Amino acid sequence: MTLARLRNAAWAALGSIFRVGWPRSDRARGAAMVSSLVLHLHPARVKRHSLRFSTTFGLGLVSFFLFAVLVATGLLLMLYYSPHPSAAYRSMKDLEFAVAFGRPLRNVHRWAAHAMVATVFLHLCRVFVTAAYKAPRQFNWVVGVALLLLTLALSFTGYLLPWDQLAYWAITVGTSIVTYAPLVGESLRFLLLGGHTIGEAALLRFYVLHCVILPCAMALLIALHFWRVRKDGGLAAPAGMRRRLVLAWPHLLTRELALLLITLVALAVAALIFDAPLEQMANPTLTPNPAKAPWYFLGLQELVKYGAVFGGVVLPGLALLTLLLLPYVDSAPRGVGLYFARERWLANTVFTIAVAATVILTVIGTFFRGPNWAWVWPFAG
């Protein structure tokens, strides 16, 4: 076959991917965006202000990239994992010492999960302080809150799977908080664990939740979230801003590709430097002191210390209800698209105090609580 024929065959292959052929002009790029299944997730043209890094800091996209990494690495980890107490811990040891690249694979999955909790939370904070939850984006804000809850649930259910001391007692503490709910607390914990103690039934339920049910729900809500962003007019912009449109290809796609590469490199570096923790095999008869919940629930565990029902149920429930009702209560079109707009000083002040309190309580639970949940100074002595 001659070089010309090879070249023509290559162009024909590209033409089979892009129905309009390989785009060589702005018009062809716009047509390619519309005709491609993957690229059609984007509009052909986007508002120029949405390309600024300061508009979103890329938090939504990074969260999506992390979820994609978790799905990919999770599928690989499933090939070597057995969801049974007698085999789960051995699976972790095999990944560390017997499976080629098993240790960095588990490290990437672990740090991506923690990073996703942080980025989804920060993304929600960014949407709030820019009032981007207001009309016509109210429902998408509710979807975003649901995505945060699913992110926490995904990380929490995956926490038990290594079946080591850290995982076992973190889930023990985390699920015990559920029992503080009046009337239904014990029943909810029994439903979650499949029994009164953490054992084979609990591990199997957490495995199915983590690997099947929650990821499918997450993928569905992410698709809905992206679709609503487009249907609701794109990203929120300040009133009166000139809404100049530019082609998504190459302006948006190149930025997304760069952000994806940065995310992957950061995860790879973290996986090479820091190993995911793995303690001794879970032992129900050996209770660590203190036993701590996963880090993202340590603020809640700290609140429980000051009042089980109020700190563990009432206050978190009121906070969640406030987030869900917020866009329908605060509907005045003021300060949309602006960071900490003066017109919204009260709402932003209350929200900032709540976020700061959450962070402070988490830090206290992480570094300043010792045996019997007594106050300790880190690095002292």
Q: Is residue 181 packed enough to be buried (19+ CB in 10 Å), middle (13-18) or exposed (0-12)?
A: middle
Residue 161: closest CA among 196, 210, 117: 210
Chain centroid to CA 176: how far? 23
Q: Of 180, 173, 233, whose CA–CA distance to 198 is shortest?
A: 173
Peptide bond preceding 333 in cis form (omega within 30 of 0): no
Q: Which residues, in sequence order, are bridge partners of residue 247?
A: 45
C-alpha distances in angstroms, 277 versus 110, 223, 238, 274, 301?
Answer: 9, 33, 45, 9, 21
pTM for this model (two decimals):
0.92
What pLDDT does residue 46 have? 86
Mind listing the pLDDT tens digit of every residue in the chain (381 residues)? 577 787 777 766 666 665 666 677 777 777 777 777 667 777 888 888 888 998 899 999 999 999 999 999 999 999 999 999 989 999 999 999 999 999 999 999 999 999 999 999 999 999 999 999 998 999 999 999 999 999 999 999 999 999 999 999 999 999 999 999 888 989 999 999 999 999 999 999 999 999 999 999 999 999 999 999 988 888 888 876 767 888 888 888 899 999 999 999 999 999 999 999 999 999 999 999 999 999 999 999 999 988 889 998 999 999 999 999 999 999 888 889 899 999 999 999 999 999 999 999 999 999 999 999 999 998 765
Q: Could you tell me which residues are beta bridge partners of residue 45? A: 247
pLDDT of residue 217: 98
Contact present, 59 and 123 (Cβ < 8 Å): yes
Q: What pLDDT is attached to residue 39? A: 73
Measure Cα distances from 303 to 52, 297, 357, 367, 375 in Å.
39, 10, 11, 15, 14
What token pair was written down for 122?
Answer: 């920060």
Residues in the chain: 381
**Sign of dihedral through CA atoms 121, 125, 128, 130?**
negative
Burial tier of 144 (Cβ tally within 10 Å: 0-12, 13-18, 19+): buried
Q: What is the DSSP string of 87-130?
A: HHHHHHHHHHHTSTTHHHHHHHHHHHHHHHHHHHHHHHHHHHHT
Instruction: State how far Cα 336 lies from the chain centre.
Output: 25
Give the model's pLDDT for residue 242.
67
Strand ranges, E, within the chain: 45-47, 245-247
